[in-house]
Amino acid sequence: MRRNLLLIVSSSLIYISCSSDSFDGLTKEQIVDNFRSSSEYRAYKRSDKLYAQVVSTFLIEPAGIRISTMNSGETQAFLSYIDSQKNLSIKQVNYKPISSPE
């Protein structure tokens, strides 16, 4: 009985550790690819809304990777994507509106 309980607990721990998303070893390209395959990004791309052209740069923690978004719609999709990831947090480090030529 005790052995069976130990096997169940150890199997559960292995499953939990393998199934949790760990972004510690990911590159910038892998994070961007994961974002671009997310439902948040697909919804943004399907939208026919017009978005302000603003470059926002974020620092992904704990990886220390900088990722930029090109408009307010992509920024909102990226923020929603990060919110859905349990092991990631971000800090906005730059916000630069793109002025239109006059």
Please give the Cα distance from 61 to 87 (Å, whole number).
9
Residue 94 banded pLDDT, cuts 50, 70, 90: confident
Instruction: Give the contacts of 63 (CB within 8 A, at least 6 positions apart).
Output: 23, 24, 26, 31, 88
Q: What pLDDT is stored for residue 75 in this prediction?
A: 95
27 is a domain residue: yes
Let me know if residue 78 belongs to a domain.
yes
> What's the chain's average pLDDT?
78
Q: Domain for residue 102, yes or no?
A: no
Let me know if residue 4 belongs to a domain: no
Amino acid (1-letter code) at residue 16: I
pLDDT at 98 over 80: no
Q: How far apart are CA 12 and CA 4, in angstroms?
A: 12
Residue 5 lies in a domain: no
Which helix (H) or strand (E) covers residue 68, if one does?
strand 65-69
Residue 41 Ramachandran class (φ > 0 left, ψ -120 to 50 alpha, else beta): alpha
User: To which H or E segment does residue 76 belong?
Assistant: helix 72-84
Domain with 30 in it: 23-97
pLDDT tens column, 13-42: 333 333 334 445 789 999 999 999 999 999
pLDDT band at residue 80 using 50, 70 and 90 as cut-offs: very high
Give domain status of residue 69, yes or no: yes
For 7, 14, 15, the CA distances from 1, given in Å and listed in that order, are 10, 20, 21
Number of domains in the chain: 1
Mean pLDDT, residues 35-64: 93
Q: What is the mean pLDDT of residues 85-101?
A: 78
Q: Is residue 92 one of the residues assigned to a domain?
A: yes
- The answer to whether position 91 is within a domain reads yes
